[in-house]
Amino acid sequence: MRDFARCHARIEARDLQISRDGAVLLDVARLDLDGPGPTLILGPNGAGKSLLLRCLHGLIVPDAGRVLLDGAPLSAGHRARQAMVFQKPVLLRRSVLANLTYVLRRRGLGWRARRDRAAELLAEGGLAAKARQSAASLSGGEAQRLAILRALATEPEILFLDEPTSALDPAATLAIEALILAAARQGTQIVMVTHDIGQARRMGADIVLMQGGGVAEHGPAERFFTDPESAAARRYLAGALVI
Ligand SMILES: Nc1ncnc2c1ncn2[C@@H]1O[C@H](COP(=O)(O)OP(=O)(O)OP(=O)(O)O)[C@@H](O)[C@H]1O
């Protein structure tokens, strides 16, 4: 068992529904996420993974149902305890260092604390040598590492990630995974969408398989990968097309 810090946030989704033009896009009766260790949300294209992640983070308000954090409805205060990283890195048109110090200043850190924390983060992300470089000049993998460092600079209790490595090569992907797993070990709760079964095996402690807008299976990674309960999971793991 990997050594993940005990997570404290409890995310509960109840009766979530999103429909458009008569089609049900998301229909999740009940989902409880409380760690410890990363939750990986798997599933085929169009299964509703991104919609679910956005609902859990409060970026989308579902047509029906609710999301609770530690038993209370999601609020602006809760949102401040969370961060989200997207497939395409969101960065400021400034230097690599300034992308971090901007976030740290907004958190109220003085210049010395900002400098020290930014240096720590850059070292963790392997970007110390690029600190003065423009963020726009980074490679895709470096830019995504910086986006994750920016998210971590907010000290989020929960970090949501939506396919953060799907545009990256294997080496860049592994570097991102290491960064996310290090954050998980330091106590950040991770909820991450991926298409990549190998990535879910490497990173996941807890697996959610989405299919057709619903949760087909949810449980510990060990069980999911060795003895899945649902036919959908068995087909998905066997590489069969699941629609
Ligand atoms: N704003 C919207 N209006 C209409 N349909 C939408 C909207 N957002 C998402 N959908 C549809 O909802 C379904 C689920 O989308 P979602 O992005 O959650 O899938 P996903 O599992 O993340 O897929 P992918 O792996 O391709 O990113 C898709 O059929 C998508 O076309």
Q: How far is the CA of 212 from the centre of ligand 1 (A)?
A: 10
**ipTM for the complex shown:** 0.94
H/E/C letters for each residue in 106-156? HCCCCHHHHHHHHHHHHHHCCCHHHCCCEHHHCCHHHHHHHHHHHHHHCCC
Is residue 194 a part of any domain in this protein? Answer: yes
What is the tens place of the pLDDT at every residue in 211-236?
Answer: 999 999 999 999 999 999 999 999 99
Q: How far is the CA of 48 from the centre of ligand 1 (A)?
A: 6
Inform me whether the pLDDT recorded for 47 exceeds 90: yes
Is residue 173 a part of any domain in this protein? Answer: yes
- Choose one of 24, 50, 163 to mutate for the ligand 1 pocket test, by most ligand atoms within 8 angstroms of C-beta: 50
pLDDT of residue 1: 41
Ligand 1 contacts (CB < 6 A) are 20, 25, 43, 45-51, 195
Q: How far is CA 195 from CA 45, 73, 76, 172, 186, in A?
A: 8, 29, 30, 16, 25
Q: How far is the CA of 55 from the centre of ligand 1 (A)?
A: 12
Is residue 26 a part of any domain in this protein? Answer: no
Is residue 84 a part of any domain in this protein? Answer: yes
- Pair (231, 123) in one structural domain: no
- Pair (123, 212) in one structural domain: no
Q: How many separate domains does the chain show? A: 2
Domain interval for residue 185: 34-61+74-91+156-237
Is residue 27 a part of any domain in this protein? Answer: no
Is residue 18 a part of any domain in this protein? Answer: no
- Pair (106, 57) in one structural domain: no
